[in-house]
Amino acid sequence: MPLENISCNKTAGGWHKQYTHRSEVLNCDMRFAIFLPPQTAAGQKVPVLYWLSGLTCTDENFMQKAGAQRIAAELGVAIVAPDTSPRGEGVEDDPAGSYDFGLGAGFYVNATEAPWNRHYNMYDYIVNELPALVEAHFPVSDQRAISGHSMGGHGALMIAMRNPERFSSVSAFSPIANPMNCPWGQKAFTGYLGSNTETWKQYDSSELIRKAEKKLPMLVDQGTHDNFYIEGQLRTETLAAAAKANNYPVEIRMQDGYDHSYYFMATFIEDHLRFHVEHFNK
């Protein structure tokens, strides 16, 4: 599958690059970003952290705002940041123009409802197509971790628990932890998956963690001054209760005073990268 390089910037001794490619599962052209640490210049294969962003974001938000490249360069970790939904001519968007459904709001599911099922298959893209592409074209190993923020935190937790053989560890900032029971998730799941709530459970982290048999190392950070947490969109407490019921060893850190912004992520991203490297080494 051909890649087109559209930008290239040296940073932290490594390289931040953006690529476009044709996605077969999304039936459109897609863009992703990759940070290649300096260790790859000598041909060394490095592990990969897949980063999933939140509502309205693209591949650029995390790469430009989180300040992750310096520590990733030190630790010898590549970072891959995909887009948050299919895009381009012919890709459906919410006719109401809302920010929480359609473009920029793929929710990392495989849509089953028309017309969304023509393009909105982000689950298959993240689990299969994108890693295969990255591993075929870049000096990376088959060691993978996954992380994300908000809608992307939902995606990271859900994908990791459904595919524990593919990832060494998972972490999240401010994840939508129980989408079946919050307004954002209910809107997205109804649109993409239909009204049968039984089909929603396969994409709900609180449901998955309650029944998980293989237990990955998991780290979650949640800010106490996050308006979306206060309003009930994130439901961190539901994830914590479900994990406790299944004796799932998740570390949930309530970070006093922090909100939903990239200031929060920039503060604690080093912790998350070191957490993943610890489990790569195991």
CA distance 160 to 147: 9
Active site residue 124: no
Residue 271 CB burial class (10 angstroms; 0-12, 13-18, ≥19)? middle
CA angle, residues 67, 262, 109, in degrees to nearest 5: 105
Catalytic option among 150, 168, 171, 205: 150
Element (H, E) at 251: strand 250-255
Active site residue 174: no
Residue 189 CB burial class (10 angstroms; 0-12, 13-18, ≥19)? buried
CA distance 252 to 270: 16
| Residue 215 vs residues 165, 168, 169, 247: alpha-carbon distances, Å | 10, 10, 9, 9
Catalytic option among 16, 260, 272, 279: 260
Nearest to 173 by CA among 211, 237, 219, 117: 219
89 backbone dihedrals φ, ψ, rounded to 5°: -60, 130
Active site residue 29: no
Structure tokens belonging to residue 111: 């849509």
CA distance 235 to 245: 16
Is residue 130 within 8 A of residue 242, CB to CB? The reply is no
Q: Catalytic residues, which ones?
A: 150, 226, 260
